[in-house]
Chains A and B, each alone.
Chain A
Amino acid sequence: MATSTTERAQRVLTGTHFMLGNYAVVEGALAAGCDFFAGYPITPANEISERMSQRLPTVGGKFLQGEDELCSIYALSGASLAGAKAMTATASAGYNYMQEGIGYAVAVEAPIVIVDVQRCRGENFASQADVMQMKWGPSGDHELIVLAPSSVQELFDFTIRAFNLAEEFRNPVIIMSETTIALMRERLVIPPAEEIEIVNRRYTSLPPDKYLPFKANEEYGVPDFAPLGEGYGAIYSLNPHSEEGSIDWDPDVFERLYKRITGKVTQHRNKICKTQAFKMDDADVALIAYGSEVRPCIDAMEMARADGIKVGVLKLDTVWPVPEEQIIQVANHVKLAITVEMNIGKYTREVERLCCAKCRTAVATKNRGLVHFPEEVYAVIKEVWR
């Protein structure tokens, strides 16, 4: 029965594992407190659903295989507004379908986590081609938080962070996974449960007759939460709404709402944006990369340094919002910044606008369903660095 099953369950698998990337996402989610998962089959994200269907019910959560991606993404908002920590996983094409539901979650400030395992269009090859859609897919004004893990360990760690950010900012958070790392097996260290930081959304302390579901204490603040079905009488509408939640087309109301729900992310950029620097202290050349592309960049950095070219790597753990200050700081200290990505060169434009007039820029792109080889990155360095 349920109780004994729950008692048997172990939410945090503390220890050292050799684990598939997609499984690491599941373990990260469970460690973060995920108690609702809805998904729809799509390769190469399926192992997330499959493991969730086994693991989640044993710790008291609910698993749903929806009839399509739209069911999954809206079930997430429904469950989240009822108080769940909810996640879905999909791959590029499925992420397309989910856009309207992500837009809704932004509008009603429902904390949800979405894993998008990027693949080539219709095929399961390596790609980072969704980097723009990852952020700009939904219609209307919005801000999304997108994290880019580069390893199995980071798939675990970033999933926990994704839940924490979603709860703190009551906003969808996207884990930008890739075929490459999702289907990779690597060493994974899961710490003891008590060492894992967990953030929960702030519940209202007001009685229902005083509660306003979209009133924040600050201009760019996050409203306190009241779960569905408890008599708080909240209206969660996609339409422009007042602090009470009522549909309201007053331009001032509209402007204030959208300034706050986008501002709560952009104004807290420094807290959300994280990067890692490798040998940047004395670098003349910066390789700026995210996700699996960081790995060949580090190898290329070592190859270049062996030849006397001072190369460093700036790894973007957060892709959206753009870690502007960190990139500007790098641009101020290097002579050349090369953006390395596995698409036709999309994120490059974000980097270039930040580097403008501060350093030279170049791009190493690859759109062949393959991660860069270190030699390819190094070839670009040698070509551009003269």
Chain B
Amino acid sequence: MSQPINPLRKYIREGKLPHFFCPGCGCGQILNAFLQACDELGMDPSRMVIIGGVGCTARIPVYLKGDVLHGVHGRTLAWATGIKLHKPQTKVVIFAGDGDVASIGGNHLIHAARRNLDALVVVANNFNYAMTGGQVAPMTPSQVRTMTTPFGNPEPSFDICELVVTAGATYVAREVTGRPVQLERTLKKALTHEGFGLVEVLSQCPTNYGRYALRSGDPAVTLKWIMDRCITKAQADKLSEEEKAGKFVVGEFVDFKRPIFRGSSVYDLESCECCE
């Protein structure tokens, strides 16, 4: 009897397998949900430009058959800006880790959101710099021990969703690998959104965050740690600020339309469909 083949495998570069992600890493689940969303929408990833910077999450694009940009830290949205301005019809999807997009790429992130660049950013938040060995990241929770915060992280963490909502993003949602159905549904909405979209996916990193912060390399322990802290927006509305501390609110935060950035010039404002 022949082995059944995953129908999503048609989108994967065969020669690149096996992938390099650690056992239990959430990146595979994010890739799976993304491809499932594309497949159901009838959107072919091989016609997209898929971008990764540096880090574990940034390797997701290199397994996909689309055109891929990869390998410099934090500049994903700068690439996307050039591509979208020159070739607006191109679908651009960025896969970035929390360190890549919220730290070194933070300036590009807020300005892409402000401009409403027509691109989707999928942020895998695994709460640490994973590929470099488990150092503190902008979205590492306070007090957590990492390889560079041996006495506990003294800094507060970013809420990237709040950050880009404030900056002007037009689709923002947070999901978690432990809710695959909701994650896929969210990615489907984000993929069809016109304008700047950001989906933060809380993702388990058993190898570094698990071992150093949670003292266990078991993927289930890391995933449970995340899931125990996830609450829906409806649940959050019933809690006080104190009760919400340390929780991750999952769900959709904004979904609206406004003019898309076409380039900083009079001509582009004239030709912007959204402005007519």
Contacts and interface: CB of A to CB of B under 8 A. Distances in A.
Given A75-B82, A79-B82, A247-B62, A236 B90 contact: no
B70 A236 contact: yes
Interface of B: 13, 15-16, 46-49, 62, 65-72, 75, 77-83, 85-87, 89-91, 107-108, 111, 262-268, 270-271
Contacts of B266: 57
A233 B67 contact: yes
A80 interface: yes
Given A75-B78, A229-B47, A239 B70 contact: yes
A48 B70 CA distance: 30
Contacts of A84: 82, 86
Contacts of A82: 49, 82-83, 86-87, 90
A120 B69 CA distance: 35
Given A67-B108, A86-B82, A247-B62, A62 B47 contact: no
Contact of B62 (A2, A64, A246): A246
21 contacts: A53-B264, A53-B265, A57-B266, A64-B263, A65-B264, A66-B81, A71-B78, A71-B111, A72-B78, A84-B86, A100-B72, A100-B75, A228-B49, A229-B90, A233-B66, A235-B62, A235-B67, A236-B67, A236-B70, A238-B70, A239-B70
A80 B82 CA distance: 8
A35 interface: yes
Nearest 8 A/B pairs, CB to CB: A78-B82, A238-B71, A57-B267, A75-B82, A74-B78, A79-B82, A229-B90, A78-B79
A2 to B, nearest CB: 4
A68 B107 contact: yes
B267 A5 contact: yes
A369 interface: no
B71 A104 contact: yes
B79 A77 contact: yes
Question: How would you classify the secondary structure of chain A's contact residues: helix, strand, loop or mixed?
Answer: mixed
What is the size category of the interface that chain A forms with chain B?
A: 35 or more
Nearest to B83: A78
B79 to A, nearest CB: 4
Given A228-B90, A236-B70, A63 B15 contact: no
B83 A232 contact: no
Contacts of B87: 82-83, 227-229
Contacts of A166: none
Contacts of A75: 78-79, 81-82, 85
Contacts of B271: 1-2
Given A57-B263, A71-B111, A235-B68, A83 B86 contact: yes
Contacts, number: 162
A231 B46 contact: yes
Contacts of A76: 82
A277 B264 CA distance: 44
Nearest to B114: A67
Contacts of A236: 67-70
- Which of A84, A101, A235 is packed against the most chain B CB atoms within 10 Å? A235
A76 to B, nearest CB: 6
A237 interface: yes
Contacts of A100: 72, 75
- Which of B77, B78, B89, B265 is packed against the most chain A CB atoms within 10 Å? B78
Nearest to B88: A62
A72 B108 CA distance: 11
- Which of B66, B77, B79 is packed against the most chain A CB atoms within 10 Å? B79
A80 B69 CA distance: 12
Contacts of A73: 78
A228 B83 contact: yes
Given A75-B85, A82-B86, A233-B66, A66 B46 contact: no
Contacts of A108: 69
A86 B83 CA distance: 11
A247 B49 CA distance: 17
A62 B263 CA distance: 6
Contacts of B71: 104, 107, 237-239, 247
Given A5-B270, A80-B82, A247-B71, 17 more contacts: A2-B270, A62-B86, A63-B263, A63-B265, A64-B82, A70-B75, A71-B77, A101-B75, A229-B89, A231-B47, A233-B67, A234-B67, A235-B62, A235-B70, A237-B69, A237-B70, A246-B15
A38 interface: yes
Nearest to B74: A70
Nearest to B78: A74
A245 B71 CA distance: 12
A156 interface: no
